[in-house]
Structure 1
Amino acid sequence: MISEVTVVVATRNRRARLFETIPHHEGPVILVDNGSDDGSPEAIEAAFPQVTVVRLGENRGAAARNAGVELARTPYVAFADDDSYWEPGSLAGAAALLRDHPRVGLLSARVLVGPQARVDPVSEAMAAAPLGIPEGAPGPAVLGFLACSVAVRREAFRQVGGFNPKLHVYGEEALLAMDLAAAGWLQTYAPELTVRHLPLPAGRDNGARHRIEARNRVLTALLRRPPAVVARTAVAAWRDDRRGVADAARLLPWALRRRRPLPDTVEDALRVLTNQ
Structure 2
Amino acid sequence: MNDRVTVVVATRNRRDRLFETLPEHRAPVILVDNASTDGGPDAISSAFPAVEVVRLGENRGAAARNEGVRRAGTPYVAFADDDSYWTDGSLARAAALLDAHPRLGLLTARVLIGPGGRPDPVSTAQAAAPLGTAPGAPGPTVLGFLSCAVVVRREAFLRVGGFEPRLFVYGEEELLAMDLAADGWWLCYEPSLVVRHFPLPEGRDRSARRRIEARNRLLTALLRRPPAVVARTLAATYRESLPSLWDVARGLPWALRHRRPLPPDIEAAYAGVTHPS
Deviates most, 197-206 or 80-89: 197-206
Give the distance between the partners of 2:202 and 2:188, measured in 1 at CA.
31
- In structure 1, the partner of 2:35 is 35
- In structure 2, the partner of 1:198 is 198
SS for the counterpart of 2:3 is helix
Confirm or deny that 1:101 pairs with 2:130. no
Give the distance between the partners of 1:243 and 1:86, measured in 2 at CA.
37
**CA shift for structure 1 position 78:** 0.1
Unaligned runs of 5+ in 2: none
SS for the counterpart of 2:152 is strand
Give the distance between the partners of 1:171 and 1:77, measured in 2 at CA.
20
Give the distance between the partners of 2:137 and 2:40, measured in 1 at CA.
39
- In structure 1, the partner of 2:10 is 10
- In structure 2, the partner of 1:274 is 274
Between the two proteins, the alignment pairs up a number of residues equal to 276
* 1:228-250 Cα deviation digits (max 9, x unpaired): 10010111122221111221121
**CA shift for structure 1 position 136:** 2.5
- In structure 2, the partner of 1:74 is 74
SS for the counterpart of 1:192 is strand
SS for the counterpart of 1:251 is helix
Deviation >4 Å, runs of 4+: none
Percent sequence identity is: 70
**CA shift for structure 1 position 205:** 1.4
Aligned residues of 1:9 and 1:30 also touching (Cα < 8 A): yes
Aligned residues of 1:103 and 1:136 also touching (Cα < 8 A): no
Give the distance between the partners of 1:65 and 1:26, measured in 2 at CA.
19
Give the distance between the partners of 2:136 and 2:39, measured in 1 at CA.
45
Give the distance between the partners of 1:44 and 1:235, measured in 2 at CA.
46
- In structure 1, the partner of 2:146 is 146
Give the distance between the partners of 1:55 and 1:117, measured in 2 at CA.
32
- In structure 1, the partner of 2:88 is 88
- In structure 2, the partner of 1:185 is 185
* 1:109-162 Cα deviation digits (max 9, x unpaired): 000011111100100110110110101211100000000000000000000000
- In structure 2, the partner of 1:46 is 46
1:214-229 aligned at under 5 Å gives the runs 214-229=214-229
**CA shift for structure 1 position 203:** 2.4
Give the distance between the partners of 1:164 and 1:270, measured in 2 at CA.
20
Aligned residues of 1:164 and 1:172 also touching (Cα < 8 A): yes
Aligned residues of 1:10 and 1:82 also touching (Cα < 8 A): yes
Alignment-mate amino acid for residue 57 of structure 1:
G
Give the distance between the partners of 2:252 and 2:25, measured in 1 at CA.
40
TM-score (normalizing by structure 1): 0.99
**CA shift for structure 1 position 210:** 0.5
1:239-258 aligned at under 5 Å gives the runs 239-258=239-258
Unaligned runs of 5+ in 1: none
